[in-house]
Structure 1
Amino acid sequence: MVPPHPCPPAPGPRARRRLLAATTGLLLAAAPTAAAGAAAPLPRPAAPGPYADGRYVVVLAGDPVAEADGSAPGEPSLKAAPGGGVDVTRRAAQDYRRTLLETQQDVARTVGASPEQQFTVALNGFSAHLSAAQAQELSGTPGVLAVARDVLRHPDAATEPATEPATEPATEPTTTADHLGLTGPDGVWSALGGAEQAGRGVVVADLDTGLWPEHPSVAGEALGTGPAGELVAHRTADGAITVPKADGGTFTGACETGEGWDADDCTTKVVGARAFSTGFTAGGVQLADSEPPTARDTDGHGTHTATTAVGASGVPATVDGTSYGETTGVAPAAALAVYKVCWTAADGDAGCATSDLVAAIDAAVADNVDVINYSIGGGAATDVVDPVELAFLSAASAGIFVSASAGNSGPGASTLDHASPWVTTVAAASSVLREGTVRLGDGRRFVGASLTREPLPSTPVVPASAVAARGATAADARNCLEGSLDPAQVRGKVVVCDRAVTARVSKSAEVERAGGVGMVLVNPTPDSTEADQHAVPTVHLDTGAGEAVEAYAHEEGATVAFEPGNTTGERTPTPQVAGFSSRGPTFVNEGDVLKPDVAAPGSGVLAGYSPAASATGDLFAPQSGTSMAAPHVTGLAALYSTAHPGWSPMAVKSALMTTARDLVDTAGAPDRDPFAGGAGFVDPARMLTPGLVYDSGALDWLRYLEGSGADLGAGVGPIDPSDLNQASIAVGDLAGTRTVTRSVTATTTGLYHATASVPGFDVTVAPSVLVVRAGDTKQFRVTFTRTDAPLEGWSTGSLTWRGADRSVRSPIALRPVTVAAPAEVTASGASGSQQVTVTSGVAGELDVTAAGLAAGSTRTGTTPAGKETRVRVKVPEGTALSRFDLVADDRDADLDLTLYRVDGGRRVPVASSASTAADERITTVVDPGTYEVGVTTYAAAPGRRTARYRLTTFQVPAAGGAGEFSVDPDPVPVQLGREATFSVSWTGLDPALPHLGALFYGDARVPTVVSVG
C-alpha cells in the first residue's frame, strides 16, 4: 500500500504559466544498455493518443490562491497567513477565488461545457465531461495549461508482491517505533517532551479510503475539552473545527456527517472529516452497499495509513486472537484530518478519481494542514505536469510537507511514481521482523516470513504438485489454486505451494479447504517474503530455501515443524529495500531528478485497520507496500513541525535525506542503490540536527518546470533540472564533464569538509571546505569528469560534508553518454555537405555511422473537420528511423497527427503530435511492422468544412539508401568533454524529393537527424 531552515526562501517574481501543448521529437523504442548492476532508463513513453469523449480536469494558467503573490497584474498577495499558509477567509482571497471561478466558467463556456468541480486554492481549474472535440479545442485555448483525463488512481497496497524480511533476531519482535529510535530516554519522542507531546500542534491530512473513527488508535476527547487553560480543537459557531497550531497558524476544517459518520466522531484527535466522490460517481456510478458516502473507512487502507502516521501511544494490538503487543503511530500527539478520496463501486470497480484528489488537496490547503500523506499512485511517472502533482506544488508553496508513496511495481527499473521534486517520494523497506522457521525432518532449518506464534509439531509434508485433485493440472496444484488440491492426499499434512497467479492468502485457504494443517509458501523466482494473516500456519520462504524444502518434500516420510521466530542462528539483515518497491530512474527529465528520496518501513507494518474489511473483524492488520512507508515519513515530518515549525517542506526533506542510514542487501552489506532506496533508510535519531540543509521554493520549482520544457512566460528563467537545489544530484546525459551548483544553509555553526566519489569519474567540489555560522547560506560547485565509467549506463556514488560531530550525505547518480549532439541538422541540394558540432563523452575517436538517405514518400488527402483519416504504412526490416511529416494546405487549419501500431485486430497508439499549429511531425524508432498514420482535422480553415494535407513518410534504412551519404573524418577525433566538428556529405540525390538520414554515435541510441531538401 501505499510521504531547519529558520528563513525559507521567499518566492521571487512570478508569471503566469503556459505549458507546451504537445510532445514532438524523437521517441525511442528501446532502452540503452546499462552498466552491470546499474539501473537502466526505460524509453520515454510516446505522447498520448488523441482525445476521446470522457471526463477531464482542465488546468488554467492563472495562479491559484496558494501561489498568488501579487506578481501578476490584478493578482493579490495572499501568502501571509501565520505559519506560511494561505488564509482563504480574507476578503482579498474570497474576491480572488470568485474571479477564478468566473474565469473557469468563461473558459468552459467557450466550448459549450459546464464545470462539475471547480478548484481555486491548490489548482486553478475545473473538471467536466467533454467530447473529444471539446477537449481538443480546450487544449489549444490560450490560458489553458493542460487537459488531463480524469482517470482512476489506486492506493499503493502490495496485494501480491511482498517485502524482504526485516531483522531482529527474535522470538519477540520489537515495534516499528523501537526500530526507528523513537522510544526510550534517548529517543526522538523524549527530546520532544515524550510521546504525549510528539506532534502536538500539527495537523496531518490523510488522503485515502477514510477512517474507522471508533478505532482506539485515534481516540480523542470531545471537541473543546482539555487541560485547564490549554487551547484545543473546538467547534465554532458555524460548525467548523479549528485547531491552534505549533507554527502560530490555525487549522480550520469541517466534520461532514451522514451515514457512518456522526458529529461526535470528530474529536480533539480527529479534527476533520471530508468525503470527495463527485468524480468517482460521475456518469451514474453507484457506490457499493458497504461503502457509505462519508469519511468512514470500510476498506482498511486509510485507517492503516492514518494510524501508522499519527496513531495514539500504547494501543494493544490483536490479530486473529493473537496479541502483538502495543502499537503507536510515528507522531502520536498529532491531530488527524481525514479526506476520503478512494471508493468502491457496486460493480466492484475501485479507485481514486483525479478530480476528487485535486478537490481534496484544494480543501486541505484551504484548511491549512501541516503535512499531507498520499499513499496513492497512478503508475510510473512520465511527467510532473499532472493535475495532482501541480496541486502538490501549490501545497508545498504554502508550506505543507507532502509525503508520497513510490509505488509497488518493483523491482523493475523506471517504475517509480511521483517524480516531482516538491514532494518527498518514499520507498519501502523492511524493519520489524515477523519470522518463523521451517525445521525439516533431517534437521535443516530455514527462516521465512510468518505471523505464526505457536509451534507446529513435526508433521508430514507434501509438494502441492504431487497432490492435485481430479481434473486439476499439476501446475494448478503447484500454485494451490482454488479447488486444485485433493483432500484425500492433503488432510493432516503441510503443503508446499508456489507463490504465483493468485493472492498469497487464497493459497492457504485452499490448503485449509483440503484439510491441510500448514503451508510453506515458496517464491518460484527470487523476490521478497511476506508475513500474512493466513488460514493455516504458514511460513513464506524465498527461492533458495523454498527449493530445498520442496525437494525434501518429495522424499518418502518427509516431515516439517514450524518454530516461531528465527531459530536458525543466523540474523536476517535489515533494513532491505522491499522487492515490490518501485525503482528509478524516472522518465521525467531523463533522470535529472533522483528519485525515490528516502526509504522507510513498508514491510509487514502492524497498524490500525477497518473491522469491516477484516475477515475476523480485527482492528489491526499487518500490511505491506509503499503505502505503509509514506506515512512513516509523514509522521516524521509532523515531529519536525513540532520541533521546528518554521522550516520549509524542502528543508525538512533535506534533513531526512542527508541523515539517512545505509540500507543493506541480503548478505548484510551496505546497499546504496539510490534508484531503490534514495538517500537511505530514515534515521529519526539524527534527523533533527542535520547541520546543513538544501532548500528550494516555488520560484525554484517554476524555473525547474521551464527547464523541463514548460513555457512560464516573462520573468521566470529556466534552470537545468540537474541544477535544482536539492539533497541529491543526478545527471542523465553527461557528455564527458559536467558541473552542477548547489547551496546549503547551516543550522549550526561549524566547519565542513567535502568528500565525493562516483566510480568511473573524477569528482571535485569547490570550495571543498565550508566555514559557516547558523543561518549562513553557502554555494558550491561539483564537477564530474568521466574516466572509465561505462557509457549509456548509470554510475552512483555520494557527496558528504563532514563536520566535527555530524555528516551530511547526498546520493549521486550519473549517466555518461557517448555524445551530446544536435537533434537535427538541415541542408539542401542534390549534393553538398554540412558541418556538425557535438560534445564528446569519450576521448580518442568517435565512431559516427551515417544511416540513409531515404527519399520521402508524399501523399495528399482530405479530412473533414472533427474526423480522422488513416493511412496504412509499412516499416520494413532494417529501418533505423521513421518520420511522418504532416503539412496543411491552408495555414489557418489545425491538424493533428497520430501513429498507431496495427496489432492483429487492434489499433494501438504509439505516438502523437497535437499542437495548435497547422503542421505536425512525429520522429520515432519503432519495430518493423504495419502501422497506420491518423490525420485529424481539429479545425478547418474559416469557412471550410474539410482540410487538405500532404503527408510525407520517411523510412531511413540502416544501410544503403539514396545517393551517397558519408561522414568526414571517419572516425572523428575527439577530446573528453570538448566540442568536435565533422562534416556530413551527400551526392546523387533527386533534387525534386526531400531526403532524410540519421547520424548514430557509437553505442548511443539517440541520433542526429539529417534533413536534406
Structure 2
Amino acid sequence: MRNKSLLAVGIATIMVLALTLPSMATHQAPDGPVQAPVFMPPQTDGDEALQAVGTRWMVQLQDPALAQYQGGIVGLQPTALQITGASRLDVNAPAARAYVAHLKAQQANVAEAVEKAIPGAEIYRDYQVVFNGFAVQLPEGDKDAVFELMNLPGVKAVTPQQEYKPNMYASLPLIGAPALWEELEGQENAGEGVKVAVIDTGIYITHTCFAPAGYAYPEGYPLMDDDKPAATNEKVIVARAYFRPDDPPATGNGATWPGLTDSSHGTHVAGTIACNAGTVAETAGYTETISGVAPRAQLMSYKIFYTAQSGSGSGWTAELVAAIEDAVADGAHVVNNSWGGGTPVAYPDPIDIAYDAAWDAGVVVVFSAGNSGPGPNTTDHVTLKNITVGATTTGGTIASGKVSVTAPEPLTDTLQNIAFTTAAFGTPLPAGEVYTFVLASAAVISPANATGCAAWPADTFDGRAALISRGACQFGLKVYNAQEAGAEFVIIHNNTGDDLITMAGGVYGDQVTIPSIFIGQTAGVAMTQWIDDYGDNSELTYDAIGFQLGNIPDRLVNFSSRGPGMGNLQPDLVAPGVNIFSSGYGVGTGEARHMGYGQASGTSMAAPHVSGSAALLKQMYPDWTPDQVRSALMSTGELDLLDYDSSELGVLDRGGGRIDLSKAWDPGLTFDMPSVSFGKLYAGDTGMMDIVATDVYSHSAPFTYTIAISETGDITTTSYFTISVDVNELVVDGAGDTAEFTVSVKIAEDAPAGDYEGMIWFEHGHHHLHIPVWVRVWPELQEGTVLLIDNDFSYLLGYPDYAAYYTDALDALEVPYDYYNADMYFNNAQTIPDISVLQAYDAIIWFTGDNFWPDGSFTVHTPLTEMDQLALIAYLQGGGRLLATGQDLMAVLDADRDLGDPTLPSPTTSLPYFTGVSWVQDNVFSGTMPSMISGLGFMEDVWLNVVITDTAWYDGAGNQGWIDEIYRPEPGEGQPEENNPAQMIFHAVEGDFAKEGHVGAVKSAEPCLEMPDTNYDYRIAYLSFGFEGVNDPVPGSLELITSREDLMAKLLDFLWAEPTVSLPDTVETTTGVETAFEAVADHVGSLLLPPGFSQYRWDFGDGTDFVVTTGPTVTHVYEEAGEYMAWVEATDIYSHKALASTTVTVEQAEFMIYLPLVMRNAGG
C-alpha cells in the first residue's frame, strides 16, 4: 500500500474532493464510456489466530480408508457399512483388523519411498480409519519436495494443511428437550449409553457439570494419551490431545484439559451437550439450575485447539484428521465440531474426506455453520455428510449487573440501569459491590481511534473509565490499549444492536488486569453524547449484581452464516446460539476460568444443541443411520422464525428450521434426502430428484401421508417456477417399509436469474413433516460478454478515469461488454450487481486505476465492500472468469501484506486467496523508474512497456509508480493449492526485488485423474499493474513490445479457452498385447488460435502407475483379463485440463503348449 493516512470523511467531503482534487497525471486519457443500465442491488469480531507454519502436508494414498472400503482386494472382506449392513463401524472386527494391516503395509512402502526421495522428510502421523495416508513435515526450502511426493507410486493426492478456529437454561424448553426427556424415562436418564466426542479445546473434567457420581466406565474405557498429562472420570471417559511438533503448547497448556491460557470453548460446548441435570450454576451473584441437552451422555474430549508458544489458538489439518480418526475408533456415536475456517479453493480436502468417512462409519457429525453472516455463501463446510447448524436467539440473557450515569444532573432515563455482561478476561470487580468512575470516551478524545485498536498516549484516560466502540479488532486489544493509557475500567459498547455478548480476550487478554464490561449500542451512543456534552463531570455508577434479562427468541442472529454451500442448500438447520449459559468462561484467571459459568454466543454454541439432540435420538433409536438422525431433526424443525431485522427467512438462512425435539423423536418418516438442492438450472430447465422415505413408526394398518407443495419467496420468483411430486400421497405399511417419490422443479422460459425455493409438506395424523427445496436459476450466457467494473475512484476523488483504455481494447477485439462504475454506488453495503446479474457474464474485468482505498477508509462504504467481495466469490464458485488489474488492487482488498505470513491479520474475505498469490512489497521497482515487464510461461513472447516518462512519446496512462511485487507462497506458508497452483506470468525486468519480481499470475480450478470433479470451475487472471499503464508500440519504432489489444486477447483467451479431449467409446484387447490408445484433443471458445497441448496423463484402470506423454498416443499391456475404465487427462499450454474415459475389455490371450518332438529310430 502507499504511505497514506486513514481518513474519516463524510459523504459531503467525498463529493467535494471529487470536484476539487487535481489529476495525478498530465497526459490526456481517451474518452470514457457511458454507464450501462445494469441492475443495482438495493441500498442497504473475532479472534485472529497466530501460527508458526512449517511445510506440513497431508498425503492421501490410493486405497479407500477402513470406513469406506467396499471390497475388491483379494483376501480382504469389505468393511463399509453400506456393504456389511451394520449400523456402526467395528474397528476391532477381524475384517477391519485385516484391512488396517493392509493399509499400514501400504503406508510403510510409501513411507520408505518418501525417505529415499526426500531426505529430511518426517512422517509424524498416519491414518487408516477415516483417511488412508499420513502427515509429513518436509524440509524447509525444498521447493521440489511436494512434486517428489506427488509422483511417488501409490500416492493419490498431496494437500497442504489448513488452519481452523473455534467458531442453555433458556434454550432447552425452546427446543422441546423436556418432551423428549419424558419419552426417555426422565431427564435423569436422557442420553444414557450414548458417547459424544467434542473436538475442541479440551474439557475441564473437575467442573461441577461433569461430576462423575452415578456413572461407571463402559467396558474398554477410559482411553487417554500415554505421552502427555491426561485425566478422565466416569463422565468424561476419553481424554486426548494433539500438539503440533512445530508449535507446541505454551507453558501450562500441555495437558489434555484446557490449561492456564487455553480457551474455555470446549468446556462450554461440552456443558451444553451433557452437563449433569440439576447442576447449580452461579455468575455475578445470579444463580440458575442448568442441564445439558443429553445430561446422561458420556463425553469424549479431543483437544485440538490450544494456546501455543507462538500465541496461536488454531487447529490444523493433520491434528483434526487424527482426532476424528480416534473418535471413530474410540466408539463415538456423535462428534461435535464447533469450529471452522479453511479456504474456499477447490482441492481434495483431507478434512472433508475424513469426516465423510466418519459419517459413512455410522457416526453423526455436527458442524457449526460459521460466524460470517449475514451475507450469502458464507457457510464453512462444503461436504454434505454432516449436519451444519446456524444460530438463533433464546428467550433469556443473564446480565452481569447494571450501570448508570449518575452525574451531572439532571439525569436521563436512557442512561439508567443499563444491563451489561462481564468480559471473560481481566480482573472483574467483586459481585454485589457498587463502584463509581469518571467517564471518558475514546470517540470524543480521539475520533479516529473510537474502536481503540491503536495505542493512545500513556495518560489519555488517567484513572477514568474508558468508553470504546466494538469493531475492527479483538476485545482484548481494546481493553489492553486503554489499560496502558491509564484507564481503570473499560466499557465496550455494541456497534450492531443492543444484544449483549461475553467478550473473549484473544491474543491480548492475558495481559489485561483491569475489569471491562459490554453494553448495547443504544446506551453506548447515548453515553458517548453525554460525555461529549459534560466531559469530566460525567460519572458512572457500577452495580455488579446479576439478573435475568429477557430476550426475543427465535431470531436468526446476524452473524450466523448463510448458504448456499457448494451448490447445495445450507445450513441444514438452526439452534440456539446467543448468550448460551454453560460451563466455562467464568471470571478469574488461569484454570479458574474453566471452573466457573458464563455466557457465549456463536454458531459454536448452536452446534452442541444439535449434538445433544442427536445423542437423544441415538439413545431412542440405536440403529438409526446419521442420515435418519439428520432427517428427523430437519423435517420437524420449527419454521416460525424471523431474521435479526424481523424480515422473513428463506431456506438458505434456516434450512429445515430450528430444532424441535418434541416432534423430532416421533417424525413418522425419515428421508434419505431431507433437503432438495438442484443447484444450477437455466430458464426453461427441469430438474428431477428421487427420494426414499422410510417408515419409522410402529403401526399395523397402512398409513397414508398426504403431500402438499408451496413455492416460497417473493412474488418475483414464485410465479416463475413450480415444484411437483410424481405422487399425491405416500402409503407405508409399518416400521421399516419404504416409499419412493420423485421431486421435480420446472423453471419458466422467461424466469429471471436468482434463488428459488419452496417446501414439500407431508401429513398424517400427528405427523407433520417438511422438505426444503432450493434451486439457483442462472441467466443465459451471452457468448463473449464482459462486465467491466470501474473502481478507479475517478468518480469519488477526482482521480484520472482510465475506463477508455479497457473499452478501446475490447472494442478492437470486437468483444461486447457492459460498463459499470461501482464508485457511483458508494454508501451502499453492496456496490456491484448481485450474483444473479454477475452470472450472466462470461467474464468480469475489474480495474482499480490509482485507487488504493479499502472499504472502511471513509465514514461511508466504498467499493469493493465485503458484500461485493462475497458476490465475486459466489461468481467464481459458480465457474466465473475474472480479470483483476491494478497497481494497488491488493490494498483495495485490504490484503496488502504477506498472506503467507500467519502472524499477520487475514483480509476481509477470502477473495484475495483465489489469486493463489500474495503481496510482497508496494513497488517492485523500489524507487527506480518503471520500465519493462516480461512474460513467463504461455506469456513468454510478451514484452510490456510501462514507462511513465515521456508521455508525448508513449500512449499509456503513465501512472504505474506503485506496481506491487507478488509471489506464490511456498508449500505450507499460505493458502492451500489444488492440482493447478497459480502460474506466474509476468515479472519486472529490473528492480530491487523482495522475492523474484513477479507482477502477474493466473489461477484456475481444473479436474485431474485424482479428482475428476472439481467443486467449481473458476479462472482468475491477476495483474499487480494496471492494464491502462501498458504503452502501445510506437509506430515506426523497433521496440518489440506487446500492445494492449494483444495483451487483452491473451488474457481473455486464458479465461475462455476450453480444452476438450475424447477417446474411442470402447477398446477391445487381450492380455500380454501392447494396446494403443489415441486421444483427440481440441479447444472451444478460443479468442485466438487454439492453444496447443503440453501433456497427457494416462490411467489404464488396472492399478498400474499413471503414464505421462507429450503426445496424444500411448500403448499399454494388460496382464489380467477383465473390464477396465481407462482415462486420459489432457493439459494445454494454459494448464487447463480435460478428461475422457473409455471402457477397455481385456480377454485372456489364447496360447498353445508345444511338446518336444520325439523321433524313434526304427532301424535300431
TM-score (norm 1): 0.66
Cα displacement (A) at 1:533: 8.2
Q: Where does residue 740 of structure 2 map in the other structure?
A: 779
Q: Where does residue 348 of structure 2 map in the other structure?
A: 385
Q: Where does residue 607 of structure 1 map in the other structure?
A: 582
Q: Which amino acid aligns with 2:186?
A: G
Q: Residue 959 and residue 347 in structure 1: after superposition, are their counterparts in 2 closer, same or farther (change >3 A)?
A: closer
Q: Where does residue 983 of structure 2 map in the other structure?
A: 898
Q: Where does residue 317 of structure 1 map in the other structure?
A: 281
Q: Where does residue 452 of structure 2 map in the other structure?
A: 479
Aligned residue for 1:115, secondary structure, equals strand
Asked whether the equivalents of residues 38 and 794 of structure 1 are also in contact (C-alpha less than 8 Å), the reply is no
Q: Which amino acid aligns with 2:307?
A: T
Q: Where does residue 729 of structure 2 map in the other structure?
A: 769
Moved more, 896-905 or 115-124: 896-905
Q: 1:94 aligns with which of 94, 97, 102?
A: 97
Q: Where does residue 746 of structure 1 map in the other structure?
A: 695
Q: 2:711 aligns with which of 739, 757, 778?
A: 757
Query: 1:67-82 maps to which residues of 2 (within 5 A)?
Result: 67-79=68-80
Asked whether the equivalents of residues 211 and 297 of structure 1 are also in contact (C-alpha less than 8 Å), the reply is no
Q: Which amino acid aligns with 2:77?
A: P
Q: Does structure 1 residue 541 correspond to structure 2 residue 495?
A: no
Q: 2:557 aligns with which of 570, 578, 583?
A: 578
Asked whether the equivalents of residues 88 and 94 of structure 1 are also in contact (C-alpha less than 8 Å), the reply is yes
Aligned residue for 1:911, secondary structure, equals strand
Query: 1:476-555 maps to which residues of 2 (within 5 A)?
Result: 476=449, 479=452, 483=456, 491=464, 496-504=467-475, 507=478, 521-524=492-495, 529-532=500-503, 538-542=517-521, 546-555=524-533
Cα displacement (A) at 1:204: 0.8
Aligned residue for 2:323, secondary structure, equals helix
Cα displacement (A) at 1:572: 4.3
Q: 2:251 aligns with which of 257, 276, 289?
A: 289
Q: Residue 115 and residue 568 in structure 1: after superposition, are their counterparts in 2 closer, same or farther (change >3 A)?
A: closer
Q: Deviations over 1:950-998 (max 9, x none)?
A: xxx975569999xxxxxxxxxxxxxxxxxxxxxxx999x9999999xxx
Cα displacement (A) at 1:915: 8.1
Q: Does structure 1 residue 442 correspond to structure 2 residue 412?
A: yes
Aligned residue for 1:645, secondary structure, equals coil
Asked whether the equivalents of residues 197 and 336 of structure 2 are also in contact (C-alpha less than 8 Å), the reply is yes
Q: Which amino acid aligns with 2:705?
A: L
Q: Residue 140 and residue 795 in structure 1: after superposition, are their counterparts in 2 closer, same or farther (change >3 A)?
A: farther
In structure 2, distance between residues paired with 1:380 and 1:78: 32
Cα displacement (A) at 1:402: 0.4
Q: Where does residue 266 of structure 2 map in the other structure?
A: 302
Cα displacement (A) at 1:745: 2.3
In structure 2, distance between residues paired with 1:992 and 1:79: 46
Aligned residue for 1:349, secondary structure, equals coil
Q: Which amino acid aligns with 2:254?
A: P
Q: 2:130 aligns with which of 122, 131, 134?
A: 122
Q: 1:177 aligns with which of 172, 177, 181?
A: 172
Cα displacement (A) at 1:150: 2.5
Higher strand share: 1
Q: Residue 281 and residue 958 in structure 1: after superposition, are their counterparts in 2 closer, same or farther (change >3 A)?
A: closer
Q: Residue 674 and residue 33 in structure 1: after superposition, are their counterparts in 2 closer, same or farther (change >3 A)?
A: farther
Q: Where does residue 136 of structure 1 map in the other structure?
A: 147
Q: Does structure 1 residue 655 correspond to structure 2 residue 632?
A: yes
Q: 1:342 aligns with which of 282, 294, 305?
A: 305
For the aligned residue pairs, the C-alpha RMSD in angstroms reads 5.1
Q: Where does residue 980 of structure 1 map in the other structure?
A: none
Q: Which amino acid aligns with 2:166?
A: P
Cα displacement (A) at 1:783: 3.1
Q: Deviations over 1:282-339 (max 9, x none)?
A: 4xx44311122445555222222222211211222233x5334123211110111122
Q: 2:763 aligns with which of 802, 808, 811?
A: 802
In structure 2, distance between residues paired with 1:271 and 1:764: 49
Q: Deviations over 1:426-473 (max 9, x none)?
A: 12222232357777733347998633787979987654333x3xxxx4
Asked whether the equivalents of residues 752 and 777 of structure 2 are also in contact (C-alpha less than 8 Å), the reply is yes
Q: Deviations over 1:245-267 (max 9, x none)?
A: xxxxxxxx623356543xxx433
Q: 2:661 aligns with which of 684, 696, 704?
A: 684
Q: Where does residue 451 of structure 1 map in the other structure?
A: 421
Q: Where does residue 215 of structure 1 map in the other structure?
A: 207
In structure 1, distance between residues paired with 2:236 and 2:620: 22
In structure 2, distance between residues paired with 1:105 and 1:287: 30
Moved more, 433-442 or 801-810: 433-442
Query: 1:251-262 maps to which residues of 2 (within 5 A)?
Result: 254-257=223-226, 260-261=229-230
Aligned residue for 1:450, secondary structure, equals strand
Asked whether the equivalents of residues 901 and 931 of structure 1 are also in contact (C-alpha less than 8 Å), the reply is no
Q: 1:596 aligns with which of 547, 563, 571?
A: 571
Q: Where does residue 424 of structure 1 map in the other structure?
A: 387
In structure 2, distance between residues paired with 1:415 and 1:849: 23
Aligned residue for 1:84, secondary structure, equals coil
Asked whether the equivalents of residues 556 and 644 of structure 2 are also in contact (C-alpha less than 8 Å), the reply is no
Cα displacement (A) at 1:541: 1.6
Cα displacement (A) at 1:364: 1.6
In structure 2, distance between residues paired with 1:503 and 1:991: 53
Q: Residue 390 and residue 912 in structure 1: after superposition, are their counterparts in 2 closer, same or farther (change >3 A)?
A: same
Cα displacement (A) at 1:600: 1.6
Q: Where does residue 911 of structure 1 map in the other structure?
A: 1003
Cα displacement (A) at 1:514: 7.6
In structure 1, distance between residues paired with 2:224 and 2:384: 32
In structure 2, distance between residues paired with 1:600 and 1:400: 20
Asked whether the equivalents of residues 799 and 811 of structure 1 are also in contact (C-alpha less than 8 Å), the reply is yes
Cα displacement (A) at 1:58: 0.9
Q: Where does residue 1070 of structure 2 map in the other structure?
A: none
Asked whether the equivalents of residues 328 and 358 of structure 2 are also in contact (C-alpha less than 8 Å), the reply is yes
In structure 1, distance between residues paired with 2:223 and 2:841: 66
Aligned residue for 2:378, secondary structure, equals coil
Q: Which amino acid aligns with 2:136?
A: A
In structure 2, distance between residues paired with 1:905 and 1:290: 39
Aligned residue for 1:393, secondary structure, equals helix
Query: 1:207-246 maps to which residues of 2 (within 5 A)?
Result: 207-221=199-213, 232-234=216-218, 240-241=220-221
Asked whether the equivalents of residues 175 and 327 of structure 1 are also in contact (C-alpha less than 8 Å), the reply is no
Q: Where does residue 336 of structure 2 map in the other structure?
A: 373
Cα displacement (A) at 1:424: 0.8
In structure 2, distance between residues paired with 1:355 and 1:900: 33
Q: Residue 136 and residue 464 in structure 1: after superposition, are their counterparts in 2 closer, same or farther (change >3 A)?
A: same
In structure 2, distance between residues paired with 1:197 and 1:418: 33
In structure 2, distance between residues paired with 1:377 and 1:353: 11
Cα displacement (A) at 1:347: 2.6
Cα displacement (A) at 1:752: 2.2
Q: 1:189 aligns with which of 171, 181, 187?
A: 181
Q: Which amino acid aligns with 2:443?
A: S
Cα displacement (A) at 1:791: 3.7
Higher relative contact order (CA 8 A, sep 6+): 1
Aligned residue for 2:554, secondary structure, equals coil
Q: Deviations over 1:610-642 (max 9, x none)?
A: 776467674223222222221111111101111
Aligned residue for 2:688, secondary structure, equals strand
Q: 1:737 aligns with which of 685, 691, 695?
A: 685
In structure 1, distance between residues paired with 2:776 and 2:152: 38
Aligned residue for 2:314, secondary structure, equals strand
Asked whether the equivalents of residues 901 and 930 of structure 1 are also in contact (C-alpha less than 8 Å), the reply is no
Unaligned runs of 5+ in 2: 1-36, 45-52, 406-410, 423-430, 506-513, 698-702, 786-834, 846-933, 947-955, 958-978, 1028-1044, 1054-1083, 1094-1135, 1139-1164
